[in-house]
Amino acid sequence: MPGALPRQARVVEFLRPDLLHLKAHALVPLRANRKINIADGAADPAAAAGTGFSIFALGDSAVLAEFGTRLDLEVNARLQRLAEALRAKQVPWICDIVPALGSLALHVDQARAPAGLDPVVAAAKLLQECLHGGLRARRARTASIEVPVCYEAEYAPDLEEVAGQVKLSAAEVVRRHTGSEHRVLMMGFAPGQPYIGGLDADLAVPRRATPRTRVPAGSIAIANAQTAVYPFEISGGWNVIGRTPLRVFDVTREPAALFAPGMIVRFVAITRAEYEQWRAQ
């Protein structure tokens, strides 16, 4: 969809170096010129496959590299490995590296930025270095977690409605939610809140028309082909189908966040009694 292409986009590199030759002519010099337009992305096989990225200044203190405008689990997984590679470089002027669903941001620590630094140019160069160095394959032992969830009515106010929408029984919704392997696609919005992909395709429901003003901590909610776990009592528009007794974020614990990007997640159904027992511990 060319209309969705930001006009200040620049394609500077590809995640797969073997595709580099396909778009070599589009590689632009790493100058501070922010007005270079790229060709129709749909006509570019690398961009269409989600292997290229465009880079933008996100205001004067951050840079955003966009790898795709639609959710693609492969692209997302590469993004996380790229974030790890960047983190390993320990660049002093970068204070935050934030991988999201299809993009990654670098936040600049102004106090440590060298004089004359153009963060867009420097970030593009860093990303290129990481990609040329080759991203490590996903580690053999990826962190994984089993998340106990009570799907009983008291903790699952939207389960029946979701079941009605997807024309399955509530028990079948639970069976499918616990039956597939999920993966943390990104952390965001609130401290410790994961956006988890891998939802059974038959459980695709939209957000609720009216958000709930108070969703209890630990609520498991689905929408946008993903599962979210609410770390605190906050407002939220997703469909609540259960609740975990686990503490999603706890500053007194190391690490504070239960989830992390890339983590494999399996949901396990527990009874209300088990939930209460867990909470009492």
Partner 1 sequence: MASTVMLRVLRPGLHTTVQDLGRYGLQHLGVVPCGAMDAVAHRLANALVGNAAEAATLECTVIGPELLFEEEALVALCGAEFEATLAGEAVPQNRPVLLGAGSRLRVGRALRGARGYLAVAGGIRVPNVLGSHSTYVPAAFGGFEGRSLRTGDVLTLDAAAPALAAARFARLKDVRRAAGFSSTAWRVSALTRPSERTLTLRAMEGRHYAQFDAASRRAFFDETWRVSQDSNRMGYRLAGPALARRGAGDLLSEPTCFGTVQAPGDGSVIVLMADHQTTGGYPKIAEVAGADLPTLSQVAPGGALRFARCSVDEARAALRALHAMIADIVRGIELQYGD
The residue ranges that bind partner 1 (CB under 8 A) are 1, 3-4, 6-7, 32, 34, 56-62, 64, 66, 68-71, 83, 95-105, 107, 109-110, 120, 186-193, 195, 231-232, 234, 249, 251, 255-257, 260-261
User: In terms of CB distance, is 6 or 45 closer to partner 1?
Assistant: 6
Taking Cα atoms as reference points, which of 43, 88, 91, 41 lies closest to residue 67? 41
User: In terms of CB distance, is 16 or 34 closer to partner 1?
Assistant: 34
83, 136 Cβ separation under 8 angstroms = no
As measured in angstroms, the least distance from the Cβ of 108 to partner 1 is 10
As measured in angstroms, the least distance from the Cβ of 261 to partner 1 is 6
User: In terms of CB distance, is 155 or 249 closer to partner 1?
Assistant: 249
As measured in angstroms, the least distance from the Cβ of 92 to partner 1 is 12
The tokens for 96 are 């935050």
As measured in angstroms, the least distance from the Cβ of 64 to partner 1 is 6
Neighbours of 131 (CB within 10 A): 19
User: Which SS3 state, helix, strand or coil, does residue 50 take?
Assistant: coil
Q: Any residues with CB less than 8 A from the CB of 229 and at least 6 apart, and which?
A: 147, 193, 194, 196, 218, 219, 220, 221, 244, 248, 259
User: Which SS3 state, helix, strand or coil, does residue 136 take?
Assistant: coil
As measured in angstroms, the least distance from the Cβ of 164 to partner 1 is 24
Positions of E strands within 125-211: 144-150, 182-187, 194-197
As measured in angstroms, the least distance from the Cβ of 152 to partner 1 is 27
User: In terms of CB distance, is 95 or 168 closer to partner 1?
Assistant: 95
Question: Bridge-partner residues for 57, per DSSP?
Answer: 63
User: In terms of CB distance, is 151 or 259 closer to partner 1?
Assistant: 259
For residues 55 and 1, what is the distance between their CA atoms, to the nearest angstrom? Answer: 18
Task: Determine the distance from the C-alpha atom of residue 50 to the mean position of all C-alpha atoms in its chain, rounded to a whole number.
Answer: 15
User: In terms of CB distance, is 109 or 129 closer to partner 1?
Assistant: 109
